[in-house]
Structure 1
Amino acid sequence: MTVLTATYRIVTPMFIGNAEQKADSVRPPSIKGALRFWWRALNWGKSLSEAGTTTEALKRLYREERRLFGTAAVVEDDRSLGQGVFLLRVSQQPRITLETVWPQNNTGSGYLGYGLMATHDQLHREGLKEGADFRLELRFKPGTPSADVDVLIETLRAWSLFGGLGSRARRGFGSITLLELNGQDAQIDQSAYEAAARRILSDAVEVKAFPPYTAFNGHARFGIVATGREARETHNQAGLAYKNHRGQSSALRGDVKIPFGLPLQGVDPDHRRASPLLFHVHALCDNRFAAAVLYLPAAFHHEPRYQPADLAGFYRNVAGFVPAEAHS
C-alpha cells in the first residue's frame, strides 16, 4: 500500500471554521475540496486534448475526478458510492492559536480581506494564526497505479505554490507552504519557486481558448508582487499594490471593474463571479516571504451580457496587474 505524507505550514492567518464559525482545526473535507480545485485547474488542458471538444472534455474530467477523489452521490452508470483511490486524514493538527483582530480596515490586507473585519453587527472573523504546521496522510488503495500517485503529488505541490485554505483564500489568506513530502525537505528559494510556477504555466501554453472554469491555459500569468521578512507585511504590500491598481486612487471606474469579479457595489450587486486573480504568500527557505499573484482567466459568466466576443480585451485591466517582467 502506498502512503504519501505531506507537511504544510500556515503562512498567513487561516479563516476556517466549524458550524459555529469557530476556528478549531483543519478538516479533511476542506483539504480534499482544495485538492480537487487544483487538480481540475491542472488537468483541463490534458482533458481537452484527449477529448477534442469542450463538452466531452468536461465529461471526461468529471469521470476522472470521481474516480480519483470519490463522490458522495449515487452514480447512474454503476449505482454505487465512490470512495476514490485514496483516504485522506490529518495526522497532525496545527497548534491552535487564534487570530481575532487582523486584518484591519484601511490597510492593504484589509482591502484584500473584505468580509473578515468586524462591523456594527458582527464580530471580526476568527482564524488560526500563522506559523503552525499540519501533516496530511494519503493512503492509497492496494493496486493504485503509480500514475495516480504522481498526479496527487503534482496536485499537493500546486496547492502549495498557489493556494491556501479557508475564507478569502483566493486573496492570500490561509496561504500554505509545503515543508516536507514523504520526509524529504520541500522548501525552496524564490528563484526555484518562480521556476516551479512557470513550469506549470508552460505546460498549458497550447491551450489557446479560454476554459469554461478556472484552469491553467495559454492566457495565464504569474508574478511576484511583494517580498519581505514578515508574512503579514508582505501580504499587506500585495494588497496595497492591488488597491493602487483597482481602488479609488486608480483610473478604473464603473463597468471597467466588472472583470475583477462580482458582485460589484453600485454596478452589479446581484451576480457572483470570483476574480481571476489568485493571491498567495509563500514561505521561502531563507526565512523570507514572497507574495505572488496567479492570473487564471476563464469564461466569465453564463449571463449573455458577460460573454464578450473579445474576452482577452474584457480582461485586459485584470491581466495588467501582473508585473510585465513576470510573464515575459
Structure 2
Amino acid sequence: MIYLDYQATTPLAPEAFEAMLPWLKEQHANPHSAHGPGRAAKAAVEMARAQVVALLPAGGSVSFTSGATEALNWAIKGVGGPLVTLATEHAAVLDTAEAVGGTTILPVGSDGLVDLDAARAAIRPGVKLVAAMLVNNEIGVIQPIAYLAALAHDAGALFLCDAVQGYGRVPIPDGCDLIALSGHKIHGPKGIGALWIRDGVSLPPLLHGGGQEKAGRSGTLSPALCAGFGAAAALMAARRKEDTAHVGRLWAAARAVLDDTWILNGSADHRYCGNLNIRRDGLDVARLMSDLRAIAFSAGSACASGSGRPSHVLEAIGLSDAEARSSIRIGFGRYTTEDDLVTALNRIDAAARAQRIAA
C-alpha cells in the first residue's frame, strides 16, 4: 500500500509511539491525582504541553482538547458572533459558525485566496471574531493570516487561526488570539488536539465538570495521548528544515510526472507543497479509486467523505460540479519516498488515461 492521504491523517511517528507506550502499559495514574504516580503523570502532561507550545507564538498557553473540532467549537462558541470567516473553511468552523449565528462568509478567488476587498468591507467594528485556516485541508492554499488578524484587531475583534494543517510546517503569525491544533496531523495520535489562547483572552468553558485545564476545560487528560502529541510536536521542530526540503523534492517530482492534462486546484505559489489537489476533465474518481486500491489517496476531505456532495472548497473556487467531482487530492510528507510517489502517480495517470480510451 502506498499511502498518499496525509491531509486526512499522518502516519504515527515511531518516537510518538515510544513516548506513549509507558503510559499505556505500566503507568496508569490519573494526572489530576495528588499522589506520587499522579504527579508523575501530570509531569508527563506538562512536558507535552511545553513541547506543543514551543512551536507557537510567545505570550499564550495551550489547553489540551479531544481534537481540533473541540478546540474550534470552544473558541467560536466562547467568543460568539457576529463573526467573519471564509467559504473554504473546515466544516468544524462553518457548521459551528452557523450554529452561533450572525456569520459573514467571505468569498475566495479561483486561486483559493480570500477576497481582500470583501474582507476589508466585512471586518468592521461590531464583529467579535474572525476565523481563518492557515493551510487549507483540501487544496493546500496558505491564507494571509497576518493581514486578516490585523483587520480583526483594527475592528476590535479577536482572531482565530485553524492551524491544523500548517502547525510545524508553516510559520504561524504573531497576530493570532486563538489557535486550534490536532495531534494526528503532525504524526501524533488521534483523539487529542489543543487550543492555544493568548494571554489576556478568556473563554467560558465548553465542557463543564471539573475544570482540569487551566483555561477551564473539563475532563481527565490521557498522559499517553499528551505524551504522543508532545513527542510529535518536538519532532516537527527538530525536523522542520529536513521535512520542508523533502516535501519540496516530492512536489517537484510530482509535477514532473503529471502533464498539462492534469490541472492544479488552488494557487501554485501560495500553498503548502505537501498537498497536491488536481483534476482531469471527465475523470471518474470513484472508478479510479476502485482500480487503484493499493494506493491510498482522496477524493476530497475525509471529514466529508460519503456525503455524496461535491467539495464546498472546490465549489468556492469556482469549479463546476463536474470539475469538482473529477478532482483528487494527493497528500505526502515525511515518510513518503520519492519512488513510491512517482510510482503511484504514474499508476494514477495510466488509469486515468485508460478511462479516456475506454470512453
TM-score by length of 1: 0.27
Larger Rg: 2
TM-score by length of 2: 0.25
- Greater helix content: 2
- Greater strand content: 1
